[in-house]
Amino acid sequence: MKNLVRTLALSALLAVPALAQAPPGLTESERRSGAQAHPQILQQFGGAMSGPVADYVRAVGQKIAVQSGGGARATDYTVTLLNSNVNNAFAIPGGYVYITRQLLALMNDEAELAFVMGHEVAHVAARHGQKRQNRAALSNVLAGVAGALTGSDLIGRGAGLVAGLTTLGYSRDQERQADSLGVRYLTTAGYDPNAATDSLAALGAQTALEARLKGQGGAEPSKWLSTHPPSGERVARMRTEAQGIRTSSRTLNRDAFLNAIDGMIYDDDPAEGVVVGNGFRHGGLALALDAPRGFAISNSSQAVTGSGPGNLRFDLRAADARNADLNSIAGARWQQLGVSAQPMRATRINGVEALEGSIRAGSQAGPVEATLTVYRWSPQLTLTLVSIAPQGQLAGVAPVAASVRRLSPQDIASIRSRRVQVVRVGANDTLQSLANRMAYDDDKMARFLTLNQLGANARLKAGDRVKLVTLRW
């Protein structure tokens, strides 16, 4: 939350027998389009990571890119590791390929990463971006619809790029074709083609886990299914394709991969704030927020959002206050939400100057009530919080606005980040003992098994390497 939220959705990965021939090079128009969008993507998606892990991802991505044919060169593709806490990879015209650190951490070897890269390179090489029926400008494609996350027209009209929303809108046939091209590139680069199946299975398992943790019953979110083949179908299709490939080289490079990601930030970047249980803490802004029990909080570079039982929601974001007073900022936020400015009441919340106003509106799910709270956080910065609930139930989300407060220096010093830690299994370690080391209060075993693509009855040997998520100062 450098800007106070991060963003994205999942650009899926896999399968179709009919393979497109890669074009003989990227056009100047494609390069120009991608170059114009690239800085915007970096801004929205947490920025580009640098250092050894980013260099490693770039090398693997460019190694795969040259497999796409048509005289493709490694330098034709700009491969970026995004500082994003959402499991995602995507590509845009002009040879720009992206993967988030969260998705990178879910992979278990270099071959799986190579397949993800191959899938995204395939979208570029097959010019899927140019073939979409929807010819909207790239900026509109990236904008997404925030209402898909919130379920509310009121918030959806003004939320912009909110975490987990954006897809590039490829058709299912294009996704299947990208899967098939991806496994072809994977194989010609000397990797094990079965890594395609493994990476898709891992992504499907993680998606189901996250859905269950958010109270969605373990089913894949409809946003995934609306544009991509269901993961079960994709896994089965890719398994069939991989088994039909004859190759003598089946490289995994697991140790090189694990060495690269060891110590990498996982979940929230402390520079953008961290989610702690039912709360959010941002050391740089000295900001604290707490939600009632049962809320799931998401943090992105643009906003902090939360959803609770009974369709309760909130959205916190920052606004530049250098040339505007609280009332004008409130009016602009109402306008972003698609409604006229509402009367605001002056108040103080935990010693912070604030304004509050409410409205009733319609939504896809029926009548809702919403409250806008505007906080004068500093001479340069204002915070706006939209709290929304079905009509008559606003009290269920009201505690969020009342919880916004400043952190003490001691509180700031206590903030820690989660990191990937690669460890060797000890002689006395069990699945349970390793899972107990995961830095979460809930579902430690499920998180550990999913992160490592292990079954519930997996047998580990002393000396095996596994991934944990641990807390670091």
Same domain, 91 and 43: yes
Same domain, 233 and 186: yes
Answer yes or no: is 345 within a domain: yes
Same domain, 307 and 350: yes
Which residue range(s) make up the domain with 55?
28-132+169-266
Digit-coded pLDDT (tens) for 53-110: 999 999 999 999 999 887 788 888 999 999 999 888 988 888 899 999 999 999 999 9
Helices (H), 12-127: 28-44, 52-65, 101-106, 110-125
Same domain, 210 and 119: yes
* Cα–Cα–Cα angle for 282, 284, 288, rounded to 5 degrees: 30
State the Cα–Cα distance between residues 103 and 199, nearest whole angstrom: 10
Answer yes or no: is 333 within a domain: yes
- Within 13 Å of residue 371, how many CA atoms lie on the same side as its CB? 20
Q: Tell me the torsion sign for CA atoms 216, 199, 81, 271.
A: positive
Same domain, 321 and 435: no
Same domain, 76 and 96: yes
Q: Tell me the torsion sign for CA atoms 91, 96, 102, 108.
A: positive
- Report how many domains make up the chain: 3
Q: What CATH number does the domain containing 427 carry? A: 3.10.350
Same domain, 244 and 341: no
> What local confidence, expressed as pLDDT, does residue 128 receive?
64
Answer yes or no: is 154 within a domain: no
Same domain, 247 and 301: no
Answer yes or no: is 155 within a domain: no
Same domain, 355 and 448: no
292, 287, 265: which is closest to 277 by C-alpha?
A: 292
Q: Which residues of the chain have pLDDT under 50?
A: 4-23, 133-168, 217-227
| Helices and strands in the chain, H and E counts | 18, 17
Answer yes or no: is 438 within a domain: yes
3-state SS assignment for residue 275: strand
State the Cα–Cα distance between residues 404 and 291, nearest whole angstrom: 10
Q: Are 107 and 420 in contact (CB under 8 A)?
A: no
Q: Which of 266, 282, 300 is the last residue of a domain?
A: 266
Answer yes or no: is 153 within a domain: no
Q: Which of 219, 235, 266 is the last residue of a domain?
A: 266
Q: Which residue(s) pair with 406 in the sheet?
A: 287
Same domain, 256 and 375: no
Q: Are 24 and 318 in contact (CB under 8 A)?
A: no
Answer yes or no: is 151 within a domain: no
Same domain, 406 and 426: no
Answer yes or no: is 13 within a domain: no
Same domain, 68 and 191: yes
Q: Which of 213, 234, 266 is the last residue of a domain?
A: 266
6, 118, 24: which is closest to 67 by C-alpha?
A: 118
Q: What CATH number does the domain containing 309 carry? A: 3.40.1000.10
The two three-digit tokens of residue 320, written as one number: 């530049």
